[in-house]
Amino acid sequence: MVEEQKAFRLSRRLLLGAAVVGGAVLWGGNTVARLARGPSGPKNAGRIADIDGIALPLKPLANAPAYDPSLAWSAKGGDLNDASGLSRTPVYGVVEVSEEDHIAKALAFARANGLKVSLAAIRHSMGGHAFDDNALVLDLRKFNKVTVDAAARTMTVQPGARWHDIQNLLHPRFAVKAMQSTDIFSVGGSLSVNAHGMDHQAGSVAGSIRLMRVMLADGSVTTCSPTENNDLFRHVVGGYGLFGVVLEATLDIVDNTVYRTSREIIKSDDFPKFFAEVLEPNKDIGLFYGHLSTAPGNFLEDMIVYRYDKVADQPPAGQPAIGEPDGVGLKRVIINLAKWGSLFQELKWFTEKTLEPKFENCTVPRTSAMAEGEACLVTRNNPMHDSVPYLFNDLMDETDILHEYFIPRAAYVGFITEARKILRNQDLPVLNASVRIVHKEDVALTYAPEPAYSLVLYINQPTDADGSARMRALTRALIDVTIKHGGRFFLPYQLHYTAKELLASYPELPAFLAVKRQYDPTELFSSTFYRAIKALSGVA
Ligand SMILES: Cc1cc2nc3c(=O)[nH]c(=O)nc-3n(C[C@H](O)[C@H](O)[C@H](O)COP(=O)(O)OP(=O)(O)OC[C@H]3O[C@@H](n4cnc5c(N)ncnc54)[C@H](O)[C@@H]3O)c2cc1C
Q: Does the pLDDT of residue 317 top 70, yes or no?
A: yes
Of 91, 163, 180, the one to substitute when testing ligand 1's pocket (max ligand atoms within 8 A of C-beta) is: 180
**Which residue's C-alpha comes closest to atom 27 of ligand 1?**
189
Average of per-residue pLDDT across 373-383 = 91
**Which tens digit of pLDDT belongs to each residue from 323-350?**
988 899 999 999 999 999 999 999 999 9
Distance 29 CA to ligand 1 centre (A): 36
What is the predicted pLDDT for the residue at 357? 86
Average pLDDT estimate for 144-161: 98
CB count within 10 Å of CB 431 equals: 19
Q: In the structure, what pLDDT confidence band is assigned to residue 13 with cuts at 50, 70 and 90? A: confident
The per-residue pLDDT for 370 is 63
Angle at 519 (CA atoms; ends 515, 520), nearest 5 degrees = 105
Give pLDDT, residue 500.
Answer: 97
Q: Is 91 in the pocket of ligand 1 (CB under 6 A)?
A: no
Query: Is residue 372 over pLDDT 70?
Result: no
Out of 248-252, 368-372, 491-495, 515-519, pick the least confident: 368-372
pLDDT digits (tens, 9 = 90+) for 213-240: 999 999 999 999 999 999 999 999 999 9
Give the closest residue (by CA) to ligand 1 atom 19. Answer: 125
Q: Is residue 276 scored above 90 in pLDDT?
A: yes
Dist CA 330 CA 385 (whole Å): 19
- Cβ contact 304:291 at 8 Å: yes
> Which pLDDT does position 358 carry in this prediction?
85
Q: Are the CB atoms for 247 and 221 separated by under 8 Å?
A: yes
Q: Which residue has the higher pLDDT, 5 or 115?
A: 115
Looking at this predicted complex, what is its ipTM? 0.99
Instruction: Please report the pLDDT score of residue 7 as a whole number.
Output: 63
Using the mean position of ligand 1's atoms as its centre, give its distance from the Cα of residue 395 in Å.
23
Please determine, for residue 306, whether its predicted confidence score (pLDDT) is greater than 90: yes
Write down the H helix ranges in 151-279: 163-170, 187-193, 230-236, 271-274
DSSP code at position 49: -
Segments making up each domain of the chain, as ranges: 258-503
191 CA from centroid of ligand 1 (Å): 8
Tell me what pLDDT residue 367 has. 67
Per-residue model confidence (pLDDT) at position 17: 72
Alpha helices in 240-289 (DSSP H): 271-274
Q: Can you tell me the distance from the alpha carbon of 449 to that of 439, in angstroms, rounded to the nearest whole number? A: 8
CA 330 to ligand 1 center in whole angstroms: 27
The pLDDT of residue 28:
76
For every residue of 433-463, DSSP letters joined together read EEEEEE----STT-S-SS-EEEEEEEEEEES
Q: State the pairing for strand pair 258-267/245-255.
A: unpaired
Mutation probe of ligand 1 site: the residue of 165, 192, 519 with most atoms within 8 A of C-beta: 192
CATH topology of domain 258-503: Alpha-Beta Plaits (3.30.70)
Which among 319, 284, 321 is positioned nearest to 169, based on CA atoms?
321
**Is the distance from CB of 500 to CB of 480 less than 8 angstroms?**
no
Distance 231 CA to ligand 1 centre (A): 22
Mean pLDDT of all residues in 297-315: 97
- pLDDT value at residue 23: 66
Is the pLDDT assigned to residue 540 strictly greater than 80?
Answer: no
**Within its chain, how far is the Cα of 517 from the centroid?**
28
Cβ of 498 less than 6 Å from ligand 1: no
Average pLDDT of the chain? 95
Which atom of ligand 1 is closest in space to residue 391's alpha carbon? 1
- Ligand 1 atom nearest the C-alpha of 243 is 43
Spatial contact of 528 and 128, defined as CB atoms under 8 Å apart: yes
Q: Cβ(254) to ligand 1 under 6 A?
A: no
How far does residue 124's CA lie from ligand 1's centre (Å)? 6
- Would you say the CB of residue 43 lies under 6 angstroms from ligand 1? no
The b-or-e profile of 151-179 (16+ CB within 10 A means b, else e) is eeebbbbbbbbbbbebbeebbbebbbbbb
Residue 368's pLDDT is 55
How much is the average pLDDT of 6-21? Answer: 70
pLDDT, one tens digit per residue, over 250-274 is: 999 999 999 999 999 999 999 999 9
**pLDDT given at position 539:** 64
Handedness of CA 299, 290, 354, 427 (dihedral sign): positive
**Residue 235 to residue 143: CA distance in whole angstroms:** 22
% of the chain with per-residue pLDDT over 90: 90
Question: Chain-centre distance of CA 23, in angstroms?
Answer: 40
- Compute, in angstroms, the gap from residue 391 CA to the centroid of ligand 1: 17
pLDDT band at 120 (very low <50, low <70, confident <90, very high): very high
- Other Cβ atoms within 10 Å of 350 Cβ, number: 13
| Least trusted range by pLDDT, from 27-31, 87-91, 167-171 | 27-31
The DSSP line for 100-144 is HHHHHHHHHHHHHHT--EEEESS---SSS-S--TTPEEEE-TT--
371: left (phi over 0), alpha (psi -120 to 50) or beta: left
Per-residue pLDDT band at 366 (split at 50, 70, 90): confident
Task: Give residue 240 CA to ligand 1 midpoint distance, Å.
Answer: 9
Residue 6 clears pLDDT 70, i.e. is over it:
no
pLDDT at 523 over 80: yes
Pocket flag, ligand 1, residue 213 (CB < 6 Å): no
419 lines ligand 1 (CB under 6 A): no
Residue range 435-463: mean pLDDT, rounded: 98
- Of 353-357, 425-429, 486-490, give the lowest mean pLDDT range: 353-357
CA–CA gap between residue 195 and residue 179 (Å, rounded): 6
Does the C-beta of 157 come closer than 6 Å to ligand 1? no
Decide if pLDDT at 10 tops 90. Answer: no
- Residue ranges of the alpha helices (H) in 194-323? 230-236, 271-274
241 C-beta closer than 6 A to ligand 1: yes
- 515 CA to centre of own chain: 27
Mutate to test the pocket of ligand 1, among 129, 512, 516 (most ligand atoms within 8 A of CB): 129
pLDDT band at 374 (very low <50, low <70, confident <90, very high): confident
DSSP annotation of 40 reads S
